[in-house]
Structure formats: structure tokens, C-alpha cells
A = this chain, B = another copy of it.
Amino acid sequence: MKKRSVVESVVNNETIYQQGISVDCVIIGFHDRRLKVLLSKFNFFHKWMLPVGFIMKDEDMDVAACSVLKNITGLKDIYMYQFHTFGSTIRLNAKEHRTIMAKIGLADTNHWLAQRLVSVGYCALVDYSQVNISASANEKVQWFNINEIPSLYSDHNSIIGKALAMIRTQLDIIPVGYKLLPEKFPLSELRIIYETILEQELDRRNFQRKILSTGYLINLGEYQRKPGQKPTALFAFDKEKCEEALQNII
């Protein structure tokens, strides 16, 4: 049996949730040389949206964000960080919003869920290959290439933009590829991540020199073979150093 959607749960357990706040999650993965974002869509509504969660009254906000991630991907103990809080009153297209609310059985337009929300944006960088997408009965969940995102519900396009902008500023502080890439990977994959985020090409050799000088990477001495190419050296992140770096993020 498929589970109920998050929003339905909230409607039916109104009193245990902190009113008027949601956590909106930008979940980013990397596959086939492309950065991807997880989006969800109700069967009865035409626009895709970011996975959303709500905060229980006795629950830390960070925990609430992580449980969105866990519900949708099965991943736990993943580092998520907050990047911005969206508190404009015009975020919400009232008509769209009520359409959705009505569909999930919320007729009461005075219910807080039918009104203005402040959304805290969280971002997670995850290993695509570890993700098991799980959706509720009346929704779909799917990866989208980050530069091929359709027009989303509410201000979700700009939330994604902000998440990327935030990652961009931290690109030389935190080991961004750490969670995105599998255990072993060639440097070219890491470079593509950087190029996608920065929206510019990077010199292969200079990138390599710079990224290796950070000390976060370990040359495994193993090689990946692809048809028609010279074997490529494989690298791994130094887990200890990366975890430490994640602790020190602001």
C-alpha cells in the first residue's frame, strides 16, 4: 500500500505541526555527467514542485528537513543545510494553492495550510546511485536535469536558483563533490560538477592542480577503462577531512 502524501498527513494531524512553516528541500544528485534535482508532482496538479515537509511542534527544523529526504530517497544521516528562508507574501498563487488543497480534501480555506507559508530552504547533495525514490499514492517523484527544469509551483524555481547560488559561493570552501559522487570517480566527473555549478568551462589541468592541492582527494592508483580512451585515474574523497569540513560550514 502506498503511503499518504506529506500534505495529507498534515491536514489530518494539524495540531502536532508548527503552523505556517514548511521546509522546502532541494535534493541534488549527479548522474550521467549531469546535475539533477528531485521534484515531485501531484497527479491532479499540472506543475512540479520541490519536496516539502512540515515541522512537528517538538521537532527540530533540521530534523524535519532530513526526514523529508529520508521519506523520498530512503537516505538517512545525510548532511543537509539551510540556505535561505522565503517569507514573501506573494510567493503563493492563491488560486493554484486552493486547487491543490481542495484536491487533498482541505475545504476549509481558513486552515493555516491554505494560507500564507514561510518556507525554509534546505539543500542536500546526495549520491544518485543510492537513492530509492519513493512517492505517495497520489504523486510522482522524479529527477530533472538541473538546467532543464520546467516552470514549477510557486517560487520553487527561484528557490532552486538560490540554492545553486549558495553552493557556488561555497565551492572553494566545502568539498561539494563529496556526497554527489560515488566512492571512486575520475577527476573529470568532479570537474563537470564544478562547471555545471559555475556555468563556465574550467581548464582541465588548472582544475586538477587546484583541486588536488586542497588535500581532500586521494589518488587510489586504480584506473577506469572506457572504450577508445586512455585509462583514467580514479580518486576518492578523504572522508575524515570532508566530514570535518562539513562541520565547520557556517
Contacts and interface: CB of A to CB of B under 8 A. Distances in A.
Interface of A: 18-21, 55, 57-62, 64, 82, 84-85, 87-90, 112, 115-116, 118, 120, 162, 165-166, 169, 250
Contacts of A118: 18, 21, 55, 61, 120
B60 A89 contact: yes
Contacts of A20: 18-21
B115 A88 contact: no
A134 to B, nearest CB: 25
Given A21-B21, A55-B118, A165-B250, A61 B84 contact: no
Contact of A250 (B87, B90, B120, B162): B162
A26 to B, nearest CB: 14
Contacts of A88: 60-62
Contacts of A84: 82
Which secondary structure dominates where chain A touches chain B? mixed
A63 to B, nearest CB: 9
Nearest to A19: B19
Q: Give the top 7 A-B pairs by smallest Cβ distance, nearest first.
A: A61-B87, A85-B85, A165-B250, A19-B19, A60-B88, A18-B20, A85-B120
A169 B19 contact: no
Nearest to A165: B250
Nearest to A62: B87
Contacts of A166: 250
Contacts of A250: 162, 165-166, 169
A89 B112 CA distance: 21
Given A20-B18, A250-B162, A250-B166, A120 B87 contact: yes
A19 B118 CA distance: 10
Contacts of A58: 89, 116
A112 B21 CA distance: 13
A88 B59 CA distance: 8
20 contacts: A18-B20, A18-B116, A21-B118, A55-B118, A57-B116, A58-B89, A60-B87, A60-B88, A60-B89, A61-B85, A61-B87, A61-B88, A61-B118, A62-B87, A82-B84, A82-B85, A85-B120, A118-B120, A162-B250, A165-B250
